[in-house]
Chain A
Amino acid sequence: MTKNAYDFNNLNPSATVIRRLDPLVIEKPRAPIHIHTYGGETRFFKGLAEGRLWGTYCDNLDCDPSGREAYIHLPPRIYCPDCLEKMEWQDITDVARETARIHTHITVLNPGAFNRVAIPCQLVSIEIEGVATVLMSQLMGAEPEIGMPVEPVFNTSNPTFTILDLAWKPR
């Protein structure tokens, strides 16, 4: 039989890889690409590539409990989780340089598929003064400890436009 007799809709049964005969187990390969938008969080991810760390805050004075500037969200949120008004952006690069500390940390030795961080990776959660949240990120070039003062470093030369453009180093 010619190859064409099987070859409809780009499906080529002759390419099926059989793993086992009884029970019959076959391979079903795929490699899709997703087209993903950052939408209203664009400023944050562009900011990393520009060497800036952006948080958001709610400036709705009627908002309880977070209607004050000190209460910054990082990761940024587009809408306030309390009053659902649009949040304001704030550049927190400098305060992060001065006050960031490690809240908790672990070492990743066995990542999952599609991982792009260098292994072993020091995963850290970062406290910053005036920030109500504790950002997950990565530490470069040091053994982490709870309470360790750190400062942000940015991948501005060859940005990936992902959260991997941000890392931290001891301060």
Chain B
Amino acid sequence: MIKFTERNLAPPKQMRPVYVVAAGHSDFRKRYPEKKTEELCVEAFRMLALENDLKISGIQELKGYIHSAFYGHFADHFGDQLLGEALIHDRLGLDPLGNVGIKTGGATGGSTVWMAANAVASGYSDCVLALGWERMDEVDTWTGNHYISTAADKDFETELGHIYTGYYALMAQRYWKTFGKSSDAFRRTMSKIAVKNRGYACSNPFAQGAARLTVEDVERSPIVADPLRFYDCCLMSVGASALLLCDEKTAYRLSDDPIRLFIAAGSHTLRTADRRHMDIPLLPAELDNTDVKRHYMDLYGDGETEPYPGFTGFLAARIAAHYAYNMCGIYDPMEDLDLVELHDAFTISDIQTYEDIGLRPYGSGPDYIESGDAYLINPNTGEPGRLPSNLTGGLIGCMHAVGATGIMQVGEIMWQLQNKWAKFHAPEELWERFGKEKPADFEDLQVQGARRGLAISHAGVGSHVTCSILMRPEALIKK
């Protein structure tokens, strides 16, 4: 569809409030022969049950609350296990509860949270487990790249090199040459994102890609698919993440500090080829801003200058944000939110997402980094950044264990809003549990007084995107 009705775009409804109360992860590694997938899933669940200050006597009491389970696992061929959700469900000992596997590429984790939230919102279940995992280490990287490329159109895209990064880079190149003007300054902004996210990963005991890099390190790293270099690209990971969602009554029975969750999803064609020009669906703050509307006319013309969303924007992210913002009353995300976790599959797609979700107008994404807004401490001023992004390290610094990624992001935002970031990142014991030493340059990445956060989970070259918004109950915008 390239024309939408008001009915198509109506704000999604939750028939009753949805809360998140607990989260847990395994650590994340490129290769993890020491543990089977089910061990990683059980470890994530054990952390969820035993380390989130839940008002329960133990795991069995918690299992007595769970009513249905939603499992995110994208790539059957990677894991070499069809119906893996049945296997994991059994290892968690949750039979005979109903469960379902969910797969939407890179957005699998986000979609799993989406489905789990809807089960609570509809009244079907009062307490739901969302748990996701990925195992990408059974094949070599060469075969792994082929496996990933089969998530493109197999007749029209996959044959062209069997390399997904290439299909993504076609968009990156168009953005880089048109909006970025192929400039060194734009290249530098991309590098800063990699430096920032790898750097934040240094204070994350779960993270796989911790590194103190310089912009020069990023720009000297090998080209994967021009303009994307090694450090512009996300990690490939093994690991699991879990989240517990509840209705209001169960949430307060289990936790003294439950967090509200709103979540919505959008989509766009699998093949980038098929993205026809359309009008820009405007976000709430843009609707009232004549400057932005004039800027968009200059930028796109009526599609003659540059098609929208073309190769420069992700319609799925724009629509997911449109639904989510209108669902919970976000007007200007820069004002209304305190932190975000974005799907930084590539530095350029991260910049594109800033624009899709309205952190900056289309064409102006790099300013979110350059202004210092995207940092915990603004490097230009030394003051707190306006809207820190990817304090976990994101996909570039922490992990991309596909089915777990979107779940990990929501869990981490929840911990931030509960003021529990330190509890899950600072203890020496946690670093030792994952065979690591807590680094001497460990930083406290708790966003002081954080009340609202957002997470974007993204698939394919923008085929599926979910937008989660978490709020402290006393900080709701729409009452």
Q: Does A92 contact B (CB under 8 A)?
A: no
Chain A residues near B163: list those with CB within 8 A.
Answer: 108, 110-112, 115
* Chain A CB within 10 Å, residue with most, of B161, B274, B310: B161
| Identity of the chain A residue whose Cβ is nearest the Cβ of B34 in the assembled complex | A23
- Kindly state whether residue A95 has any CB partner on chain B within 8 Å: no
Residues of B within 8 A of A106 (CB): 166, 169-170, 172-173, 225-226
* Contact, CB under 8 Å: B161 / A123: yes
Closest Cβ of chain B to A144, distance in Å, is 9
- Contact at A115–B162, with CB atoms within 8 Å? yes
- Is A137's CB within 8 Å of the partner chain B? yes
Q: Say whether A153 faces chain B, with CB atoms less than 8 Å apart.
A: no
- Check B142–A112 contact: CB distance below 8 A: yes
- In this complex, the member of A64, A115, A117, A135 whose beta carbon has the largest number of chain B beta carbons within 10 angstroms is A115
Task: Please state if B273 and A108 are interface contacts (CB–CB under 8 Å).
Answer: no
Secondary structure at the A interface, as helix, strand, loop or mixed, is loop
Known: A104-B170, A136-B167. A163 touches B159 (CB 8 A): yes
Within 8 A of B (CB), among A88-108: 103-108
The answer on a CB contact under 8 Å between B161 and A112 is yes
- Report how far A110 CA is from B305 CA in the complex, Å: 33
When chains A and B are docked, how far (Å) is the Cα of A16 from the Cα of B172? Answer: 43
> Would you call B157 and A110 a contact (CB within 8 A)?
no
A117 touches B161 (CB 8 A): yes
Within 8 A of B (CB), among A109-135: 109-117, 121, 123, 125, 132-135
List 14 additional contacts besides A125-B272, A164-B159; criterion CB under 8 Å. A23-B35, A64-B3, A65-B2, A107-B226, A110-B224, A112-B143, A116-B159, A132-B277, A136-B156, A136-B167, A136-B273, A146-B177, A162-B159, A163-B159
Q: What are 28 A-B residue pairs whose CB atoms fall within 8 Å in the complex? A: A41-B155, A65-B3, A74-B273, A75-B274, A81-B1, A81-B274, A104-B174, A104-B311, A106-B226, A107-B225, A108-B161, A108-B163, A108-B166, A110-B145, A111-B166, A112-B142, A112-B161, A113-B143, A113-B146, A115-B161, A117-B160, A123-B161, A134-B272, A134-B275, A134-B311, A136-B160, A136-B170, A136-B271
